[in-house]
Amino acid sequence: MGNMKKVLPAMAAAVIAVPGLQVSAETDTGEFSSKDEVVYANLTATGDLIESYVVNIFEVEEAGLITDYGPYATVRNLTDTSAIQQEGGKVEFTAPEGKFYYQGNLEEPLPWDIAITYKLDGEEITPDELAGRDGHLQIVIGTEANEAVNPVFFENYLLQISLALDTELYRNIEAPAGMIANAGRDRQVTFTVMPEQEKEMIVEADVTDLEFSGISLSAVPSTLPIDAPELGGMTGDMQELTDGILKVHNGVGGLQDGIASLNDGVAELHSGSAEYRDGVTSLAASSGELLGASNEIGDALESMNNALSGEPADMDLGQLQELSGGLREIAEGLRDTATGLDTLNNNHQAAYTALDNAMTAIPDYEITEEQIQALYASGADETVIDQLTETYAAAQAAKETYAAVSEAFQAVKGTLNEVSGSLTEMADSLEEMADGLAGSLEEPGAGDPFAQLQKGISELTANYGEFHAGLSEYTGGVDQLAGSYKDLHAGIGQLESGTGELESGASRLHEGTGELQEATSDLPGQMQQEVDSMMAEYDKSDFEAESFVSAKNDNIGSVQFIIQTESIELEETEVAAEPVKVEKTFWTRLLDLFS
């Protein structure tokens, strides 16, 4: 026993003297090429931080005193039994050449705020109440940036979240934003959260006797380089699309110009049609006066014929002189009427020609209901489509109305020419009669001219009834034309309104295609720029690692995070073991005697 007392102090002295097991003020400064940090964290089942620690890994190139920094509550050497000195946020230790590990326990938050909620059969439930339950389970995992922590980790780290579900307990597993894979008897659900992304992930399943091993999270820098995709063929297609949009825009511009010209022509047509309608209406209104005057002419001719049927000697020369003047007045009135009819005929022809040209310019093609519905389905402005279809319907209605009355329009010219010619012939005859009568009065007793007058008046009286009947038929046609033309003019008015709206819609359509053309004029370049922007957003290949625990630390090789939530398990019930009755042997009984 005395020898042992001498040996123990000697062994203790030897242990103390072993190099590297204590920090000496005389130790040389060591050097390391890189330092890695692995941050471990345990969370509650709802995502709250329980504890965290960092395993620091140094690649020591020259043994000696190493200085590190971090706000650790406690530190522990994981490499050997040498002491580690800690004062404030400064940590010092003597490390041999090669790998050196030490652990620092933290009370600092993580770069991500993690929130986990659970629902069973649609009702939110705490993790403590879940173990052993049955039903439809929904787990919602939410991640967002922790504003209190250096944002470099949230902005550059890819977060991977996984959970294993035992297929003996879980069925009908769904994870819309995740990947599901087999891992033995488990189904492994994995989610990926890109840098700078806040995300909510959902897992659903039907569960029996619920137990859950928890959620694992890991975060590493997203430093994989991303190769630029080959866009040659796609940019060619995009250029064709750009060219096509330009052609559409130019075509719509031509359509707009054509519709504008059509609208101007229809406006002129409507104005001329109004004048023609007013003229026809006025003519129809004066038909009664014209027929009344014709009746008076007929009566006057009948009176003159009766008066001239006697002997010249029995006639009052004054009355004959008045008769000669009356014949001239009638002839002048007939000529004025004929001139008015010629003017009306010329105006009618001008309006009819403009109308015919406008109606002929309206296309004959038929737009089917299927084509109209396809146009609606194309995504074009529905208001413009409505205006186009309404204008199409109005144009077709005007065209049909015109087709129905075009023969009447064509007949007007012949009728007006015929009536005008007849009136002119009648005026010539009356003037000839007046001249003959005047000559006979200047040479009294000259019977031949008087006889010619008698004969002419007699024939004129006999034929005037036929002329009056034709005039009556003509005025009836004018009345009918005036009534029909009101409907036609109303249709032309609707056409003008429709083409006006159509021009306005085409203008808006052209503005829209102009904006589209301007926005897509450099579509291949825009696509390349967008791809470059997306690549720049996710390509972190130039990222340089920074220490999680202190900005004073340098030569950082890598920093990664390994995070685990608590599991949800049924509590095991301890069963007291029954004492085993042991049969005593002879020797045990013998020993009992001496105990």
SS3 assignment, position 110: coil
Beta carbons of 188 and 205 less than 8 angstroms apart: no
| H-only helix segments in 309-381 | 317-361, 369-377
Task: Check residue 14 and give its pLDDT.
Answer: 35
Task: Check residue 589 and give its pLDDT.
Answer: 62
Residue with tokens 């020591």: 60
Beta carbons of 441 and 324 less than 8 angstroms apart: yes
Q: What is the DSSP string of 217-279?
A: EEEEE-----PPP--HHHHHHHHHHHHHHHHHHHHHHHHHHHHHHHHHHHHHHHHHHHHHHHH
The enclosing H or E element of 510 equals helix 447-519
- Two structure tokens written together for 244: 């096509």
Most distant CA pair in the chain, distance = 202
The span from the CA of 124 to the CA of 130, in Å, is: 10
Q: What is the DSSP string of 131-169?
A: TT--EEEEEEEEEEE-TTS-THHHHHEEEEEEEEEETTT
Q: β-strand 49-62 against 31-43: which pairing, if any?
A: antiparallel
The span from the CA of 314 to the CA of 579, in Å, is: 175
- Two structure tokens written together for 221: 């820098």
Task: Check residue 534 and give its pLDDT.
Answer: 62
Beta carbons of 120 and 193 less than 8 angstroms apart: no
- Two structure tokens written together for 197: 């992304």
Domains of the chain, by residue range, sit at 33-223+543-569, 319-361+396-485
Ramachandran category for residue 218: left, alpha or beta (phi over 0 → left; psi -120 to 50 → alpha):
beta
Beta carbons of 472 and 298 less than 8 angstroms apart: no
Residue 83 φ then ψ, to 5°: -80, 150
pTM of the model: 0.49
Task: Check residue 151 and give its pLDDT.
Answer: 95
Architecture field, domain 33-223+543-569: Sandwich (2.60)
pLDDT per residue of the chain (595 residues) written in tens, 0 to 9: 444 333 333 333 333 333 333 444 457 899 999 999 999 999 999 999 999 999 999 999 999 999 999 999 999 999 999 999 999 899 999 999 999 999 999 999 999 999 999 999 999 999 999 999 999 999 999 999 999 999 999 999 999 999 999 999 999 999 999 999 999 999 999 999 999 999 999 999 999 999 999 999 999 998 655 555 555 566 666 666 677 677 776 766 776 676 776 777 677 777 767 776 776 677 667 667 667 777 777 777 777 777 666 655 555 556 566 666 777 777 777 777 778 777 777 776 777 777 777 777 777 767 788 777 766 776 667 777 777 777 777 777 777 777 766 676 666 667 677 777 777 877 787 777 777 666 666 655 544 556 666 676 777 777 777 777 776 776 776 776 667 677 777 777 777 777 777 777 777 777 777 777 777 777 667 666 766 666 566 565 678 999 999 999 999 999 999 999 999 998 766 555 566 565 666 566 656 655 5
The span from the CA of 430 to the CA of 445, in Å, is: 22
Q: What is the pLDDT of residues 436-482, one digit of tens each?
A: 666 666 655 544 556 666 676 777 777 777 777 776 776 776 776 66
